[in-house]
Structure 1
């Protein structure tokens, strides 16, 4: 039996490569006769650059940037393609990732995307024709204001002190936005996102993702107001772009993906970017559809398989692509929080949790490789035919 193992990272515990290796080891424990192909994936969040670097013949440019609290952290830009067709890839989570913050440091009112702006400047220095920014897994909620400040769009004291400070930003806080845009003239700026949420509202960055980053309900409301103030400053600074078909003004804060990575999507839209599905971009880049040709089963997974996983994440993207190829797919996750009815529409044939009780969750956190390997071994007994 030929099995393709194609998981995302298990956020906070395992990279996508480590997860794939643990799954493969467990599967081999039960079914050593099976042929296993490992294909670690990403949807634009943590691990985006590692996955693409393994698939592309490119160069890694190493640098140091600021994390969400201004501390120096290592990061990189991946540059691939022939002269005149060069693409630079950056992973926003390397500078703005939630994993860079200790539990008691998670406060989206204070965290900034300044370091992502540093990554974008480093990408521009390579003189690419295209820049792809992977968005996801952020610990920020500043609407990308920090990124814009790093590009010279306005003073850092107004824009780079976290989402909460935007509530008091003056009307001229983005006086350099047009100059910042000019730096990207002629560059195809692509947002690779795992979500389609707008910037504001009940489905916006603050309401949906703020609590995951440490925001209380009260703080999430304050951040919503601060981002609203940010959009007012934008409206005073630059005219709204026009829809090419209707000629009507476009509200960039309402664009699908504007709320990605705490509103980083919105800032990149202001710089002229356009959105694509992060998982689809990765699947195409690694040649997923060619890899699975001739296989009999696809195994994917992530740390927590929940309602968000059904929309734009690796697991849903893999399941849809496998279904198109006429292959069954299963999900092996740290926790499974959705039922069979929700997964049937994606063609998922089964979901399996590593941990189902609080005690099992604690054990999985203490030994993520061992517990994932053991669960994969049990799943293989169900899916792999007897020797």
Structure 2
């Protein structure tokens, strides 16, 4: 028997994904979304009908289009009444996070909340001063944030949030409140599943010797590594002992040499495929490979993790695509529900990523042929 709370959470995340796709593309087609969301056309038609009843889109044959007045359906001179302010603190205002922020802003606006946005670099050791200023200066109703959980002040930030008198939702993060280790309300991508999807795709193509390349020792990368190792063991994929490089920051003088060395190690280990986190690192590896006469995907298949810019590259990269907009929508909705009902049960929502298969993966060539091409 299905859990009605879990079913409702899935339905909300699915509808948020539809609104995010609609905001991005201006139209959505059921035929293109059934596989991506792993639901039947009937389910998607029901979702679109519900969203149309809520004034969020207009259904057309085979899908839906955006309303001329925007996602709320209100005319431009009738904006929603603002009933509160959500403070958003994310590690970066470029690359991965703008998609999450756009989802937060769209859902907050739909429900009559304003958003105050701040960016804090991964190197920031203590986010509390930023959060304290937001409470003093903006009169916020609650927080959505992705704190740096790898600093000495990380637990202090979580404890401060629990005691500040404002509800909060973590986005793409997990944490607990001490001393009882109660989980903090959160919404995040199932990055473990993302790595599993990549491993299954490579195994289905016939790859048996595969590797993982990471760009940062972060909460996301650790979850990717966990899913990758679990899937490779389950699928019988061979991963070379000691091959799991952590590339330095792209701005580092050591980055180029590290990419060269990583490619050498992959070829010397007879690997035929790599999962690379994230897109720019995958592109750098491919650039170096092509410059050295190594074919992608002929000699080496590459799956990128993030799908922020993977489709724009040549060859277009097969990529694990976290549902950034859907995560943002769900986080805003969860926080607003908490603001309205402080005593409601705590929720932790996992949103599934998808795999976008493109031109950078193919069945492996025999090792001898690949070696000749590499040399």
**TM norm structure 2:** 0.33
**TM norm structure 1:** 0.32
